[in-house]
Amino acid sequence: MGRLTTIRLIAFFLIPAGISSCYKEVELPPASDAVFELQVSPEMQEFIYQSRDTSYTIYEPGMEFFFKGEALDLDHIKTRGKSALWYQRKSYAVFLNEPLTIGGRNGIDPVRLKRFKLISLVMDFTYIENRLAFGLLEEQGLMPLFYRFVEMKINGSTQGIYLLVEDPELYHLETGSEYILRRGYYNSIDDSEYEPAMYNIPRQDYESRFLEIYSLLTLLDGEELFTALDQRLNLEQYFKKMGIDYLLQNGDYTDEIYLYSQIRQDMIRFDIIPWDYDDIFSSSPHEVGRDWGTGLLFGDRHYPTHEDLLAVLGDKMIFSVEDDLDYAIAMDPYLYSRYESTLRDMIEQMSTEDIDVLFDQLRNELMPFYHTEEVVAQSRFDRDVTSIQIWENNMKDKKTFLKNRLTAMKEQLNEELK
């Protein structure tokens, strides 16, 4: 897919008439009432429906954005994502002038958000995959963002089930971080935000610190490489993410992670925020059978079949080596031993009962939506059509899959200790 073109739709050079300077704090109600609504002209609504492969800011006089019937103080809203732009049900990035106070998935634990994503889940079969992954990541301290299911409407017409997720680029500022990046292919920076507020470290220093992670991979090895990498990247977090990705068989990998800066002993070190998990339970990772995207630091690596990849990995518990960092972790004996140690500690703390609890939570959160026929019917605009029966069957299948895979991982790790 080519680089997206960003455009801004402007009808007049005026502040939209419906956007007020005041705001109301509202608390997110139970899922069946958690409704956001965008009101625009019929022409704009049709444009949103019909547009493809183009990211743009939605802006016209008179537009308004509501939560549960209450007008929010909207700064702007724009379409986002790569896959969702090819579908009628777009994903959105929402920017408010004043924060919205909303309650969590349990109906309490409110947070205040000025920026958040409304993810349409058009590629997320039965809408469970991101939520399952986020739940597992959250238990490991790897998902600090607020998230929950909501409904989205345009001009009174439901757009179906969405996953509201706190904007990672706003979250990093709340941690005292000045710089956040989204990793791209070939060890690049796909996107970044820089707001010097505390340390006034030049932007290029943050960028260079990230790039050092990859330059080190071909200069050092063993314990020396581990130490140098861990000074620049929170390897415990990264190892845990790799372990969750292995458990979930996460196919979409390289560009689905944010790295945000932290200052430790006067040095820049990156923590991570994993991102989109709409391609889990994959039979093989994305580097298999694809002639682009795989890192180039260790030569021209291609894996025509999954068997070709497994011939390289052997029985190592790593699902994807698309990115050069993961390939180095798989190939360097010392790095892999440190990864496996972290993986063992994490997996030993997990139980099949934990998976039962996670699926019970998911059932309680999605059930109100699946019992609303009009909402579920919007899946006809997604890659796959869903229904309550399809959802029930998929929930059962995936719960069994995860419990069996967790058990198999424990058995393999225990066998290696003998």
Model confidence at 401: pLDDT above 70: yes
Instruction: Tell me what pLDDT residue 159 has.
Output: 97
Instruction: Tell me what pLDDT residue 282 has.
Output: 97
Instruction: Tell me what pLDDT residue 21 has.
Output: 31
Instruction: Tell me what pLDDT residue 10 has.
Output: 35
- The span from the CA of 394 to the CA of 260, in Å, is 35
Q: What is the dihedral of CA 5, 10, 11, 14, to 10 degrees?
A: 180
Render pLDDT for 249-288 as a digit per residue (tens, 0 to 9): 999 989 999 999 999 999 999 999 999 999 999 999 999 9
How many CB atoms are located within 10 Å of the residue 63 CB?
20
**Residue 201 backbone dihedrals phi, psi, to 5 degrees:** -80, 130
Of all residues in the chain, the percent with pLDDT exceeding 70 is 92
Helical pair 203-215 and 324-331, crossing angle rounded to 10 deg = 40
Render pLDDT for 54-96 as a digit per residue (tens, 0 to 9): 999 999 999 999 999 999 999 999 999 989 999 999 999 999 9
Q: What is the CA radius of gyration of the chain?
A: 22
Render pLDDT for 97-141 as a digit per residue (tens, 0 to 9): 999 988 888 777 888 999 999 999 999 999 999 999 999 999 999
pLDDT average, residue stretch 209-224: 98
**DSSP structure class, residue 87:** S
Model confidence at 14: pLDDT above 90: no
Model confidence at 3: pLDDT above 50: no
**DSSP structure class, residue 15:** -
- Residue 164 Ramachandran class (φ > 0 left, ψ -120 to 50 alpha, else beta): beta
Over 179-210, what HEC string results? EEEEECHHHCEEEEEECCCCCCCCHHHHHHHH
Tell me the average pLDDT of the chain. Answer: 91
pTM: 0.91
Confidence band for 11, pLDDT divided at 50, 70 and 90 = very low
Render pLDDT for 138-164 as a digit per residue (tens, 0 to 9): 999 999 999 999 999 999 999 999 999
| Residues contacting 68, CB < 8 A, separation 6+ | 26, 29, 33, 34, 35
- The span from the CA of 354 to the CA of 204, in Å, is 43
In degrees, rounded to 5, the angle at the alpha carbon of residue 24 between the alpha carbons of residues 169 and 150 is: 60
Instruction: Tell me what pLDDT residue 32 has.
Output: 52
Residues 269, 262 contacting (CB under 8 angstroms) = yes
Cα distance between the two ends of the chain: 48
